[in-house]
Structure 1
């Protein structure tokens, strides 16, 4: 992998990790269309770290409030809104963790085909638009309960199927449950933090056990480019969300799915 390929893949990862358009669908295209080599474990770790840094930096106030709320809750022995939100994020993460362990072999061996990615890109794009159109869009994150958090968490577990889009399906579930667009995106992005962290740690473990040499230059490039790109993507997405809605993302996913079908299937 040369510097241009590393730059493009880091840009793609940063752009697609938080937009509801499926990062796996985009990462398969450059490699397959141009015959690029696999990006490797080290680069995977780098771009995961970059996107994690981006979402942590953007939601640093929320994370600090949840941390402070946890401390206050322990000291005062009572629940508070920030502690409650933190606990709901943890609760909603459990289904994805469980599904990841139980269905790891199925996902890696049976569901990584271009056909699966093409189908899920289209189907879940349509579902995203339907949830946006027919959802009540009245609830705020402060109104999130245990049941809603679990349902969004189950949706996140489904995102282990390549092409689904983790952000896309969690936003879809939140919109279907009546949450406002910005609140749906906010909880989705907070929910991404433990998932990206967990995935990054697993890949780091594999990297430490690997004997393949590490290209530190490509890793640094991957971290910086994916972090900056992801941060700007989150910021612009949230600013434009109420103005544009989910229709452009549904249309884009339909076009992307058509390209995948024509090119690979």
Structure 2
């Protein structure tokens, strides 16, 4: 599933080609995604893309009359085409741009979303989301307040979208390794220095991944069709029973809350 860096990579890569451009029309070949594609999207004609934003793992196209909200589910991806290519079985949506480009949405499992919203502030998808991890709001003081009474493990807190958005399993594992904190630590046990280090590590790992175009394990490809290169930089995720790149102790893998946790028993405590 594309996480925050992958969605941000999409935003950065398509913005130069779509910002302030006109959507002439949209072809929807299959309306049956996780929720049916709205008729308002199907009927879009000659609307300008005023901005391209990201909130958590959602990509948002702001148009004259409203917003298209895209979520990629398990297998969704975008491709930016500079000419029409005959669609394959899972190419469900084409957004035609007046400058000749086409934004194509592909989704094999169809768990993604292509939704319309008249008002983002009133949209239920965004009403209970926490702060953005790359924003100034996500800082040491903020996280201290959120952890002060929590006995849940720190990895669960880091992945809680009501606290901080967009940090999926890959980046939670990598951020905790960078901070030297074992995923199972009770949140309340972290001291101020560890919390500050964790905040900085989360920001660093996410920015590094965005710079590399995200992480590719299964389905994610950048809008140019190339895989994300951050996979090459992973220190613990997917490296069970392999030597730690820092101390050579073997990486441990366990399941916590139905998600795989990876850590080094020497570098993290």
TM-score normalised per structure 1:
0.27
Query: Which structure has more strand as a fraction of its residues?
Result: 2
Instruction: State which structure, 1 or 2, has the greater radius of gyration over its C-alpha atoms.
Output: 2
TM-score normalised per structure 2:
0.26
Query: Which structure has more helix as a fraction of its residues?
Result: 1
